[in-house]
Structure 1
């Protein structure tokens, strides 16, 4: 990376402080940059997002991403059966992107060798724009995602996600059959997006995150832990281990050190561990010990790259299922304290600490 590019990148990262902390922004920029260029994301705007003022917002956000060296694939017409309309929308999107100095390469979904061409395009710092003018599964979103293996599939809608009583719903568990009874009724478009996400999740053999967001809050969705849209996900596979010997200690230690960003004390493994709860990819978990003859939650964590995916909730549900009563403590400055306040049954301040409990 040359000096000018570094300066541009740092200036853009500082500008992202408007949507979240610079530290968060820098983490996600580095995370996205660690992927192969074509694997960052497929972004699927609906037709309303391809008209101003949302189109201007989308183009501005793509310009920021390209300045950071991040090149999503933009898909036009995934839910539009009119080829003429799709071409018109694609032309408008390309013009808007070029007007803000984004380098663009346009493709048709029926093009031969499409996926290799998109890879080449992203790797030479161009944003691929794909028009889906042909019906049929081999030209569809699933075939594209299977070839590119994106980390994210982002559906853009003016609403920016789903809501409950007018408030944003950050995470939807697609495994929960009753989840949609607990939120505001879905629009026809939202129902179609959920069905598409479920179908993609069944077909793809790699991990992909599905998000509904708005062009107006796309940067907040991408560069903050809290996000700004609605994440569509399946529950993580989380297990409870009463015998610490059943755990991959190296993987667990690596996960803890990544989450807390410091080495694990060697004395940690000499303590008496009551139980360990961890997801099958070791991206988060909980460790329960005994203290004052009571179950004590010694560690509760989610690795940084997994934050915002709802994994903490999966781990917590497994924790309270096996441990009806326990307590834990957290420093006053811990940014996770708001989450703890929502899940505890009681809390008491003690100098620089907060002591929380459930079931006591």
Structure 2
């Protein structure tokens, strides 16, 4: 089967996790001229030990669709086991492993072994891969009390990029060297982030057992916008230890690279869903955009907002929309790539528009404006065309809804039955404000 046919077959198989249009959108994005910088994937030692089959399957899938990531691996559990067998007690300072010459000797052996095991597993699955366990990270010694632990000063990525260019997945061990030639231990997360700062890939992916960052109720947080969420999250008691440190490191990374780079935390078996669908499967962390709040149409760039609405719906906004719509609050990202528009011409606030630029879908901007709007409007109702592709999302976030031939009506925070009935009448009786003949697949109002 030719590579083109393999790619088309995989796209069809992927349709059970997302639409063909969004899958092709991400493939096009990742396969652009910067395809040499597609992704860096960090794999923990626990994944190599317990979930290597799903890891190999996901990496095989990426290679089959023409995408070659760089893989950085850890081996913490394996190193602990080998140190225990050697009767060497592990020591840590502020979460960092103290590495004396004895520990380094075992660590180097373990890292190289795990590297070769992963490369062998990939090759057995027909995936071209190459081992790298030296010559990548130039270091100087960290604090003296940590021993032979390296602080990365520079990254030599030329051989990695050449490997990617040749279609072979580079598998990188967290080992570095000083100018004097001393081999040093490097934290695998820090190695991943240092490599990402150098390469600036589209994606940095951390594969973990939890599959993302969990909130106080152990529920997955789908999107974190550093612009809007970071300070609040860092103050929460439920974000602690390794995940808090990881979020701090991600914050530092994303503030050091272009806004095109984002970070995902997911499980090995869910990599395809995370990368190739708008909804994703884990936690997406991006720099985000500041959300601007307007209460007067005069404060807003009407041309930019109209262009966003029309591109989202694929039809024209009525000429008198801004004159006839009594604005309560508009929540708009600073680059006008996502927005919600709320009116308050009835007892309960009405969500008149929720729009996200097609290229921004999957970046979390829609989630950010949606959550900001909900924070200010605990009571809300809205309508959406029965053809609206995001009705599934609306069903999941509404407290209740009713389906109709032309419109579905949704509500939140409303318990009174007579008020709900009145809201339904209000919603269905409103005139269309996105105009053109025929049904309008994406229309909300």
TM-score class normalised by the smaller sequence: 0.7 to 0.9
Does the CA contact (< 8 Å) of 2:338 and 2:356 recur in 1? yes
Cα distance 1:162–1:146, how it changes in 2: closer, same or farther (>3 A)? closer
- The match for 1:59 among 52, 56, 71 is 56
**2:231 matched residue in structure 1:** 175
Q: Which moved more, 1:213-222 or 1:172-181?
A: 172-181
**1:118 matched residue in structure 2:** 160
Q: What is the TM-score of this pair, normalised by structure 2?
A: 0.67
- The RMSD of aligned alpha carbons is 3.6
Q: Secondary structure of the residue that 2:316 maps to in structure 1?
A: coil
Q: Quote the offset at 1:240 in angstroms.
A: 1.6
Cα distance 1:156–1:253, how it changes in 2: closer, same or farther (>3 A)? same
CA offsets per residue over residues 1-59 of structure 1, 9 Å max, x none?
A: xx93321210111122343343432232223223611332210000122235x222212
**1:151 matched residue in structure 2:** 202
| Runs of 5+ unmatched residues, structure 2 | 80-96, 98-106, 139-153, 177-184, 420-445
Q: Quote the offset at 1:65 in angstroms.
A: 0.8
**1:15 matched residue in structure 2:** 13
Cα distance 1:45–1:288, how it changes in 2: closer, same or farther (>3 A)? same
- The match for 1:160 among 211, 219, 224 is 211
Task: Output aligned runs, 1:269-308, within 5 Å.
Answer: 271-273=323-325, 274=327, 275-288=329-342, 296-308=350-362
Cα distance 1:340–1:113, how it changes in 2: closer, same or farther (>3 A)? closer
Q: Which moved more, 1:291-300 or 1:226-235?
A: 291-300
Structure 2 residue 407 is the aligned partner of structure 1 residue 353: yes
Matches of 1:171 and 1:158 in 2, distance apart? 18
CA offsets per residue over residues 310-358 of structure 1, 9 Å max, x none?
A: 4333213443566676542112343433443455565444433122345
Matches of 1:243 and 1:120 in 2, distance apart? 54
Cα distance 1:298–1:320, how it changes in 2: closer, same or farther (>3 A)? same
Does the CA contact (< 8 Å) of 1:87 and 1:133 recur in 2? no
Structure 2 residue 119 is the aligned partner of structure 1 residue 94: yes
Structure 2 residue 54 is the aligned partner of structure 1 residue 47: no
Q: Which moved more, 1:123-132 or 1:36-45?
A: 123-132
Q: Secondary structure of the residue that 1:51 maps to in structure 2?
A: helix
Over alpha carbons, which structure has the higher Rg? 2
Structure 2 residue 328 is the aligned partner of structure 1 residue 328: no
**1:315 matched residue in structure 2:** 369
Cα distance 1:316–1:170, how it changes in 2: closer, same or farther (>3 A)? closer
Task: Output aligned runs, 1:150-229, within 5 Å.
Answer: 150-163=201-214, 165=217, 167-172=219-224, 173-177=229-233, 180-181=236-237, 189-229=242-282
Cα distance 1:248–1:71, how it changes in 2: closer, same or farther (>3 A)? farther
Structure 2 residue 184 is the aligned partner of structure 1 residue 142: no
Matches of 1:59 and 1:132 in 2, distance apart? 20
Matches of 2:167 and 2:300 in 1, distance apart? 43
Cα distance 1:119–1:286, how it changes in 2: closer, same or farther (>3 A)? same
Q: Secondary structure of the residue that 1:211 maps to in structure 2?
A: strand
Q: What is the TM-score of this pair, normalised by structure 1?
A: 0.80
Matches of 2:235 and 2:398 in 1, distance apart? 22
